[in-house]
Amino acid sequence: MSLDTVQARTGQEPTAPTPTATNGNSKASWDRSKDVYDPMGSTKLPRSGPVRRARKVEGGIFFPKPENAVTIAVSSRVLFRTEKEQKVFDQMGIEEYLRFQVEHENEPFAPGPAFPFVKALEAVNAQLRELYPDSEELFDIVLVTYNHAHVGVRLINTINYHNLFIERFCMTGGSSPIGYLKAWHTNLYLSADAEKVKEALAEGIAAATMFMPEKQIEVSETQLRVAFDGDAVLFSDESERIFKAHGLDKFFEHEQENENTLLDHGPLKSFLEALGKLQKKFYAKGHRLDCPIRTYLVTARSAASSGIRALKTLRAWGLETDEALFLAGAPKGPMLEKIRPHIYFDDQMFHVEGAAEMGTIAAHVPYGIAQKHPHKNSS
């Protein structure tokens, strides 16, 4: 599905901004009066009047406003494979690195770990645009990198080469890109830099670290599949703290006692919520069974006991995953291999590594108690 759109797009020259009237509703029109940078807060515009300038329209496809879209910010190192360049940087320094990038400007980067995920987002977008031609409730992918602008041409060439729908990016030239995530209304940030991910999480932004996998299994090109761990990912790390401090028996006891108390929300809850909102748009058009977004809860909790609290919490939030898998301590790798998600989020490196070994695209959420006890195996 994404291919159709991509071909339609590449077949046309990008067009200039056109009036709103031809595309979209007035509510969503690009409000330029708000867009004017008003340093003093007092600048009077020379003229005022109805705002009629359109959103940017390209090949008949508009770009949503970041605040209306589900914005996914990805770093260049997770979207593309840049190990070779990274090596040049580490061994020879910034100048050689930039020279290398400019010299290889016409050689596109190979797809990185977030690439299949981004492709799947675009496939969902294509279906959303078909069902809701005027709606801005779409995924918007923003490339956020602290690369220098010199690398910009190679990145743009690569985006063109892979027919990706990425029109927005910021290259901060060495300074931290974290401040920009809020400006883009980021719903999920994916980076190869664990420190940056931690900074984003501390700002309350859903974020995860991605790694270059050794092997990768085929993933669906038409259905986006996102799998979440429960504790310290969708939920807070409250229960995991009990487990880490007092062991499995205390954990069960605690969960039984608190069965009717909701778990607090975790760092990725808001992203599941955003996915749920888009899923409902498909349900409303009769696509419940063939919804192009599918979500999974993959937890070490057990269905019989501790899983009940997790389900009750999700229900109380008005959220649900399409499937909830309670592994009761069994390894997650084999189950994830069957699900074949475009991304799986877990707070424990142990599970991330286990999943990656079996070819699953796994991302680490460096949040909660598990970061302090990285070696201890979970239940």
Partner 1 sequence: MPSFSLAHNVKNTFFLLQMRSNAFEIAVSCHAVFDTNLRTDPLSKGVAFSFIKAIQDINEKLAVKNPKSPLFNVILVAKDLQEHQSTIVSSTQHYGLQISRFCFCNNENFTQSLQSTSVKLFLSMQTDDVCRALQEGVPAALLCPQTRFPAEGDKEEVVSPLKVLLSGDAIGLPEERLSEAGFSQLELQTFRAAKASMTEFALVIAEMRRCFDREDSPLRVALMTVLGSRDEMASALLTARDWGLEVDEAYCLAGASRGPLLNCIQPHILCYDGLYNVTEIPALS
Site for partner 1 in 132-171 (CB under 8 A): 148-150, 152-153, 156-157, 159-160, 166-171
Instruction: Tell me: does residue 74 bind partner 1 (CB under 8 A).
Output: no
The answer to whether residue 48 forms part of the interface with partner 1 (CB under 8 A) is yes
Backbone angles phi, psi at 69, to 5 degrees: -95, 165
Is 63 a binding residue for partner 1 by CB under 8 A? The answer is yes
Near partner 1 by CB under 8 A: residue from 100, 184, 235, 296: 184
CB atoms within 10 A of CB 294: 19
Are residues 332 and 354 in contact, defined by beta-carbon separation less than 8 angstroms?
yes
How far is 150 from 155, CA to CA, in rounded Å?
Answer: 10
Asked whether position 38 contacts partner 1 by CB under 8 A, the answer is yes
Choose which of 3, 21, 131, 217 interacts with partner 1 (CB under 8 A). 21
Residue closer to partner 1 (CB basis): 179 or 247: 179
Within 95-124, the residues that bind partner 1 by CB under 8 A are 95, 98
Beta strands in 263-379 (DSSP E): 293-299, 323-326, 343-346, 362-364
**Which residue, 30 or 296, has its beta carbon nearer to partner 1?**
30
For partner 1, the closer of residues 98 and 114 by Cβ is: 98
d(CA 21, CA 23): 6
* Gap between the Cα atoms of 114 and 145, Å rounded: 14
Question: What does the angle CA 258 – CA 262 – CA 264 come to, to the nearest 5 degrees?
Answer: 115
What is the signed CA dihedral for 210, 215, 218, 223, rounded to 10 degrees? -10
Phi, psi for 263 (deg, rounded to 5): -75, 150
Return the residue of 11, 46, 286, 318 that touches partner 1, per CB under 8 A: 46
CA distances 183 to 65, 172, 209, 265, Å, are: 11, 14, 21, 23
Residue at 130: amino acid letter: E
Q: How far is the CB of 125 from partner 1 (least distance, A)?
A: 15
Site track 225-264 with partner 1 (rule: CB under 8 A), x = hit: ----------------------------------------
Among 28, 30, 200, 332, interactor with partner 1 by CB under 8 A: 30
Does position 50 bind partner 1 by CB under 8 A? yes
Q: Looking at beta carbons only, is 32 or 246 nearer to partner 1?
A: 32
52 touches partner 1 by CB under 8 A: yes
- Indicate the residue type of 309: R
* Smaller CB separation from partner 1, 9 or 198: 9
CA 362 – CA 192 distance, rounded (Å):
12
Query: CA-CA-CA-CA torsion for 276, 285, 224, 220, nearest 10 degrees?
Result: 160
Closest CA to 179 of 156, 209, 202, 211: 202
| Total chain residues near partner 1 (CB under 8 A) | 63
Catalytic site includes residue 229:
yes
Quick one: which of 1, 51, 303, 327 contacts partner 1 (CB under 8 A)?
51
Q: Is residue 11 at the binding interface for partner 1, with CB under 8 A as the rule?
A: no
Residue with the two structure tokens 């991304």: 343
Nearer of residues 178 and 314 to partner 1, judged by Cβ: 178
> For residue 265, what is the DSSP state?
B
Binding region for partner 1 (CB under 8 A) out of 94-102, 262-270, 286-294, 364-372 = 94-102
- Which residue is associated with the tokens 């796994």? 362
Tokens of 139: 């995924």
| Catalytically annotated residue among 31, 90, 134, 229 | 229
Write out the residues near partner 1 by the rule CB under 8 A: 14-19, 21-22, 30, 32-40, 43-53, 55-56, 58, 62-63, 65-66, 94-95, 98, 148-150, 152-153, 156-157, 159-160, 166-175, 179-180, 182-184
Catalytically annotated residues: 229
